[in-house]
Structure 1
Amino acid sequence: MAQSPTSSAVKALQLELKKLNEEPVEGFQVKLTNDDNLFEWEVAIFGPPSTLYEGGYFKAHMKFPHDYPYSPPTVRFLTRMWHPNVYENGDVCISILHPPVDDPQSGELPSERWNPTQNVRTILLSIISLLNEPNTFSPANVDASVMFRKWRESRGKDKEYENIIRKQVQATKEDADKDGVKVPTTLQEYCIKTPSKSTEQNIEVDYYDYGDDIDDEDEDDIYVDDDDDSGNEES
Structure 2
Amino acid sequence: MASTSAGAMRALSLELKDLQSQPVEGFTINVNEDNLFLWTVGIYGAPKTIYQGGYFKAHIRFPTNYPYSPPTVKFLNKVWHPNVYENGDLCISILHAPIDDPHSGELPCERWNPTQNVRTILLSVISLLNEPNTSSPANVDASVMYRKWKDGGDSEYATIVGKQVEDSKKEAERDGVVVPETVEEYCVKWCPPQQDDAFDSMEYDDDFYDDYDDGSDNEEGCNEEDEDSGQGEN
TM-score range, shorter chain: 0.7 to 0.9
Read off the aligned partner of 2:171 and give its amino acid letter. Answer: D
Q: Which residue of 1 aligns with 2:205?
A: none
Q: Among 202, 207, 226, which residue is 2:220 paired with?
A: 207
Q: Which residue of 1 aligns with 2:95?
A: 97
The Cα of 1:29 is off from its aligned counterpart by: 0.8
Instruction: Tell me if 1:113 matches 2:120.
Output: no
The Cα of 1:22 is off from its aligned counterpart by: 1.6
Q: 2:190, 2:220 within 8 Å by CA — same for their partners in 1?
A: yes
The Cα of 1:24 is off from its aligned counterpart by: 1.0
Flag the structure with higher strand content.
Answer: 1
Instruction: Tell me if 1:172 matches 2:184.
Output: no
Read off the aligned partner of 2:6 and give its amino acid letter. Answer: S
State the alpha-carbon separation in 2 of the partners of residues 168 and 88 from structure 1: 14
Taking only the aligned residue pairs, the percentage that are identical comes to 60
Task: Note the residue ranges of structure 2 that are not aligned, 5 or more in a row.
Answer: 196-217
Per-residue CA deviation, residues 158-208 of structure 1 (Å, 9 max, x unaligned), is: 210000000000011111111110100000000101124579xxxxx9622
Q: Among 135, 144, 147, which residue is 1:146 paired with?
A: 144
Q: Which residue of 1 aligns with 2:48?
A: 50
Read off the aligned partner of 2:158 and give its amino acid letter. Answer: E
> What secondary structure is seen at the aligned counterpart in 2 of 1:38?
coil
Q: 2:13, 2:36 within 8 Å by CA — same for their partners in 1?
A: yes
State the alpha-carbon separation in 1 of the partners of residues 233 and 79 from structure 2: 21
Q: Which residue of 1 aligns with 2:177?
A: 181
Q: 1:50, 1:214 within 8 Å by CA — same for their partners in 2?
A: no
Q: 2:49, 2:233 within 8 Å by CA — same for their partners in 1?
A: no
State the alpha-carbon separation in 1 of the partners of residues 142 and 225 from structure 2: 24
Q: Which residue of 1 aligns with 2:57?
A: 59
State the alpha-carbon separation in 2 of the partners of residues 212 and 142 from structure 1: 34
Read off the aligned partner of 1:215 and give its amino acid letter. Answer: E
Cα distance change of structure 1 residues 57 and 223 upon mapping to structure 2, 3 Å threshold:
closer
Instruction: Tell me if 1:128 matches 2:101.
Output: no
TM-score when normalising by structure 2:
0.84
The Cα of 1:132 is off from its aligned counterpart by: 0.6
Read off the aligned partner of 2:181 and give its amino acid letter. Answer: T
TM-score when normalising by structure 1:
0.84
> What secondary structure is seen at the aligned counterpart in 2 of 1:106?
coil
> What secondary structure is seen at the aligned counterpart in 1 of 2:39?
strand
Q: Which residue of 2 aligns with 1:15?
A: 14
The Cα of 1:35 is off from its aligned counterpart by: 3.4
State the alpha-carbon separation in 2 of the partners of residues 64 and 72 from structure 1: 7
State the alpha-carbon separation in 2 of the partners of residues 174 and 190 from structure 1: 19
> What secondary structure is seen at the aligned counterpart in 2 of 1:104?
coil
Per-residue CA deviation, residues 81-140 of structure 1 (Å, 9 max, x unaligned), is: 100000000000000000001111111001100000000000000000000100111100
State the alpha-carbon separation in 1 of the partners of residues 28 and 225 from structure 2: 20
Cα distance change of structure 1 residues 39 and 198 upon mapping to structure 2, 3 Å threshold:
closer
Cα distance change of structure 1 residues 87 and 41 upon mapping to structure 2, 3 Å threshold:
same
Cα distance change of structure 1 residues 83 and 212 upon mapping to structure 2, 3 Å threshold:
farther
Q: Which residue of 2 aligns with 1:229?
A: none
Q: 1:49, 1:214 within 8 Å by CA — same for their partners in 2?
A: no
Read off the aligned partner of 1:74 and give its amino acid letter. Answer: T
State the alpha-carbon separation in 1 of the partners of residues 219 and 38 from structure 2: 30
> What secondary structure is seen at the aligned counterpart in 2 of 1:76?
strand
Instruction: Tell me if 1:162 matches 2:158.
Output: yes
Read off the aligned partner of 1:195 and give its amino acid letter. Answer: C
Q: Which residue of 1 aligns with 2:33?
A: 35
> What secondary structure is seen at the aligned counterpart in 2 of 1:121?
helix
